[in-house]
Structures are given as structure tokens and as C-alpha cells.
Structure 1
């Protein structure tokens, strides 16, 4: 295949990714509900028909925006589930989730703070179920305290990692601190190096 043919065959992928990137930026600026397909088209200098070529609805774009993080979350859950003990599962889930959250700070902020995103995702039962799994895996026993600790750790991770106040911190520092705090909340010891 010639270089020109390769470039042409990747063109639709590049256009699709540009649409996703611009939608994500506009969702963060104007909210999911406040961003229209026409706004996305106008900002990219394309027609609305060009967007419809790749996505039928805004919900389809939202699904594409969060899909990479969803796939990563599935892998983290699988790894956590494979651990032998409740503490091992909780620690693996915590560590993986912190990595995911730090990597996708803006996306996590959007998912956690935009009611339009929450509402749109409710129409995807598989995603709703997936979002419940981290709390389940981080709950060490059947007590209310363990469940509350798991949810507090999750909320704290998402809120802290996406806070504009902390954006100046290196990802590695943020990661280390979030894991330490999460372990304290959950009442688990860290893994030995």
C-alpha cells in the first residue's frame, strides 16, 4: 500500500478522533447538555452531516469519549478480581483506579460533575454496572463502615485528582498521595516492594 493510500485510509479515523477530542473539550467547557452537534461542527469547521457520518447522536459521541477509560476500567476490575484476599482485591482496585483517574483527570471530572453525562450514561446498564464494581471490590467486609469507606475513597480519589487546585502537581506525586490516603481510608496496608 502506498503512503498516500495509507494516509487516505486513516483519514476517517483521524476525523473521528478530532470529533471526539473537540466534543470532550466542549463538554468540559459548556457541559454535555450545553454542547450541540452544531457547536462541535462549527468548532471543527465541518458540516453537521460530517458528524453524522461518524456519530448518530451526542450520546454516541459521549460513549466514544469515555470508551478508552471504560476499557481500562474493565482491565483493572479483572486484575482486582483475580486477587486472593479482600484486602488484595481492594488494594489492586485502588491502585488501578488511581492510575486511571490521574491519567484521565479531565474526563473523570466531567463524568463526576456533569449531571447531563450522568443522565446519558444511565441509558447504558453495562456502564452503570461497571461503575458499581470498584466500590464492591474495595469493600473489605459486609459492614456499613466498610461500604462507606469504599465509597468515600472512590469519591475522594475522583474529586482530588480532577481538582483544578492540584493540577500543578506531578502525576507521580498525586498518584502516591492518593494511594496512601485511599489505603488509610480503607484500612489496608500497602503492598511490599
Structure 2
């Protein structure tokens, strides 16, 4: 029994130590890169990470000094955790959004907390920087046809595919496919 407790203690100790060693690359509004900070917390679930990091980035440097960065202070920050790259981009100097897709269009994810959390998917267009906010409501966290037709007015071919159920928006992967189709058809 002592071996099990000792093993679990070592596992959690190593897990805790490794979680604090996630280096964060911060891009300031002046396009300077800061690499001296590490994440203060570890996140078991991606949605909890998005919720915690969308209002401010809380980091620590090698000397143990803590610092907070807000969306109006930095353009973006990124880090690699468990072999996956996460990048957060400031949206209107108000909130950080998790980058889900980036080519000509950018797709970001923001979560609005409350009685029931609501996922918002933000489309950033390249030509005019216009942003569209599409809320995913309901038990399945799906984006409705009504919301899609409200936000993607400049691409009738994609709207037709959504209306005829050729393009199905099921979960986050479906939203990414919607944006890829939107980009290839209209940009």
C-alpha cells in the first residue's frame, strides 16, 4: 500500500512540475516577442483553459515573479502543451480567443460563462478585418442555420450547402469545415 501511495505521490509531483514548465511566447502590440514566462496553471480540459485565459494571461518568470497580461496589452500568445500548439489572439482588445483555424480566414473560439456556458466562434476576415460572432446554443452546442445566414451573408453558395444539408455543422470539426468551405468558395 505504501508503494502505491509513493508512486502516486511521485506521479503527481512530476505532473505538477511539468505543468509549470510550459513556456509561453507572447507577442506584444509593438510586435516584440517575450519568451521569459511560463504558464502558472495546468489545464485538464481545453474549455476550462479557454475560460481561464480569455480575460487575462497569468504567467510566472524564472525568478518566480508573477505577471498578468490583458488583451489590450498583447496581440497574441502561444504555447505547446502535450505536443499540441495553442494560440490565443486578442479580439478587439477585449478578450483572447483560441485559434482553431488560420489561413485566409481565422476562426477563434471564445466561451461566455454563465448559467449555461455558450461557445462563440469568431470569424476574422482578411480584407477588412470584419468579425462575425456565431453562438453555438443548445444541448448539442450547434450553430443554427439562422446564425450562419446572419453572419455569412457574402457567400450564397455556402448558405445553400448549409440549407440543403450538404454541409453539416456537427461540433467544432463541423464549424472548421464550414469555415474552410466559406474560405475556398468566397475568398
Higher helix content, 1 or 2: 1
TM-score, normalising length from structure 1? Answer: 0.33
Normalising by structure 2, report the TM-score.
Answer: 0.33
Greater relative CO, 1 or 2 (CA 8 Å, sep 6+): 1
Higher strand share: 2
